[in-house]
Amino acid sequence: MTAGTFEGFVADQAAGLLRTAYLLTGDRVEARDLLQSALIVTERSWDRFGDQQQATASARRELVAAHTSWRRVSRVGDLLGDSPVLANASGFPGFARRPSDPGPPDEVAAALARLAPQLRATLVLRYGAGLPVADTAEALGSPAETVTSDIVRGLDALDTDGTRLARHLARRAQQVGAAPDDVLHWVREGAHDRHSHRLGLLALAAVLVAIVVLVAVTL
- Please report how many Cα atoms fall inside a 13 Å half-sphere around the Cα of residue 12, on the Cβ side: 13
Query: What is the arithmetic mean of pLDDT over 59-76?
Result: 75
Q: For 207-216, how does the pLDDT look when each residue is reduced to its tens digit (9 = 90+)?
A: 677 787 777 7
pLDDT of residue 93: 46
Residue type, 82: D
Task: Please state the pTM of the whole predicted model.
Answer: 0.76
Amino acid at the residue 194: R
Helix (H) or strand (E) holding 157: helix 144-158
- pLDDT given at position 176: 85
Residue 74 has pLDDT above 50, yes or no: no
* pLDDT tens digits for range 105-136: 789 899 999 999 999 999 999 999 999 999 99
If we measure between CA atoms, which residue out of 22, 69, 53, 67 comes closest to residue 135? 53
More confident residue, 199 or 65: 65
**Residues 6 or more apart from 18 whose CB is under 8 A from it?**
31, 32, 35, 176, 178, 179
Using CA atoms, how far apart are residues 140 and 158, in angstroms rounded to an integer? 20
Q: Residues, the chain, total?
A: 219
The domains found in the chain, sorted by start residue, are 1-100+181-219 (no CATH), 104-174 (1.10.10.10)
The predicted-structure confidence for 145-167, as pLDDT tens digits, reads as follows 999 999 999 999 999 999 999 99
Q: What is the pLDDT of residues 175-199, one digit of tens each?
A: 887 666 677 776 767 555 555 555 5
pLDDT of residue 64: 94
Helical spans, DSSP H, in 26-91: 28-44, 52-68, 70-73, 76-79
Looking at residue 82, its pLDDT comes to 52
Q: How confident is the model at residue 99 (pLDDT cuts 50, 70, 90)?
A: low
Task: Give residue-wise pLDDT tens across range 14-29.
Answer: 999 999 999 999 998 8
The DSSP call for residue 204 is: H
What is the reported pLDDT for 128? 96
Q: Strand pairing partners for 102? A: 27
Residue with the bigger pLDDT between 87 and 4: it is: 4
